[in-house]
Structure 1
Amino acid sequence: MKKMIILLPIFLFIVCHSFANSVKENFDPYAISLIVSSNSNTPFCYSFLIDYYPNGQVKEKGCQGHYNATGIFVGNWYEYDLLGMLIRTRYYHPDEFGKDYKIIITYDKNGKVLTKKIFNYSDLYETEDVEINEIPK
């Protein structure tokens, strides 16, 4: 019961903040699950982070998470320019070695996709970034 009381304000903050932003974004509720599982290999969000430019615009936001006893990025992360326009999204999918990946999408100033690349999740297993052709299964 204590976990639910503690997690409720965090959940409400994430939901309210995601709807307050005028840029269309898709938070993946499964990628940033707030439910702490007894299985330590299930990624979950424990801290929603927002970084700002000196002019007050959001620079970056996303979820610091936990997977397999490691504090790492999980789910969707968003990067913005000084004017508040979305310039890059990153999706982090921690999993066992070989099934881990991240997707990085860059946008032009009109919001159109410039690049979409899939990489192994190099930070998780301290390997080098390697671009892959498809999402591992």
Structure 2
Amino acid sequence: MKKIIILPLIFLFIVCHSFANSVKENFDHYAISLIMSSSSNTPFCYSFLIDYYPNGQIKERGCQGHYNATGVFVGNWYEYDISGMLVRTKYYHPDEFGKDYKIIMTYDRNGKILTKKIFNYDDLYENEEVELHEIPK
């Protein structure tokens, strides 16, 4: 019974919060469908964040999310230089310890990938960052 009451409230909060930001790209139907899923350990996005340089260019954008009762970064994050060129992407995949990871890619001035590395999601479990050779299963 509690779940029936709480899920619509969460859904309403996300919809209101998304429209309050008045940025159309901040509305993610996929995130809402994740919230409606049955597992409380499923990572989902609840706050889309955009940080700007003083000149108005986007500095960073991504999703603050929730996993296992913890506020964390989830999904894709994008970092730009002061001229608006993409310089780095980070994909955060929260999961149980040992299956958690993040993928960090850096780009050159032409948008070509310079590096692509996989690491454990060190912030999630507050452990040391370690480069992995493959995505954990």
TM-score range, shorter chain: 0.7 to 0.9
- What amino acid sits opposite 1:106 in the alignment? T
Which structure dedicates a bigger proportion of its chain to helix? 2
Q: What letter is aligned with 1:70? A: T
* CA distance in structure 2 between the partners assigned to 1:125 and 1:73 by the alignment: 13
Q: Determine whether 1:16 maps to 2:55.
A: no
Q: Which residue of 2 aligns with 1:132?
A: 132
Query: Which amino acid in structure 1 is aligned with residue 92 of structure 2?
Result: Y
Give the alignment's Cα RMSD to 1 decimal. Answer: 2.4
What residue ranges of structure 1 are gaps of 5+ in the alignment? 19-26
- Rounded to whole Å, the distance in 2 between the matches of 1:121 and 1:106 is 18
The whole-number CA distance in structure 2 between the counterparts of 1:91 and 1:121 is 10
Offset at 1:93?
0.1
Q: Do the aligned residues in 2 keep the contact of 1:14 with 1:48 (CA within 8 Å)?
A: no
Q: Report the secondary structure of 2:79's partner residue.
A: strand
1:78-97 superposed matches below 5 A = 78-97=78-97
Residues 42-61 of structure 1 deviation map (CA, whole Å, 9 limit, x = unaligned): 11111100000011100000
Partner of 1:43: 43
* Identical positions, percent: 70
AA paired with 1:45? C
Distance 1:104 1:72 in 2: 16
1:110 aligns to 2:110 (yes or no): yes
Name the TM-score, length of structure 1 as normaliser. 0.81
Cα separation, 2, equivalents of 1:86 and 1:107: 7
Q: Which amino acid aligns with 1:7?
A: I
| Alpha-carbon distance in 2 for matches of 1:47, 1:3 | 12
Measure the CA separation in 2 of the matches of 1:14 and 1:101. Answer: 32
Letter in 2 for 1:43: P
Contact 1:65-1:74 at 8 Å conserved across structures: yes
Residues 71-117 of structure 1 show CA distances to partners (whole Å, capped at 9, x for unaligned) of 11000000000010000000000000000000000000110000000
The total of aligned residue pairs comes to 125
How far apart, CA to CA, are the structure 1 residues paired with 2:15 and 2:108?
36
In 2, Cα distance between equivalents of 1:78 and 1:47? 15
CA contact (8 A) 2:105 2:116 kept: yes
Q: CA deviation at 1:38?
A: 4.9
Please tell me whether Structure 1 or Structure 2 has the larger radius of gyration of its CA atoms. Answer: 2
Aligned-partner residue type, residue 49 of structure 1: L
The answer to whether the 8 Å contact 1:51/1:61 transfers is: yes
- What letter is aligned with 1:17? E
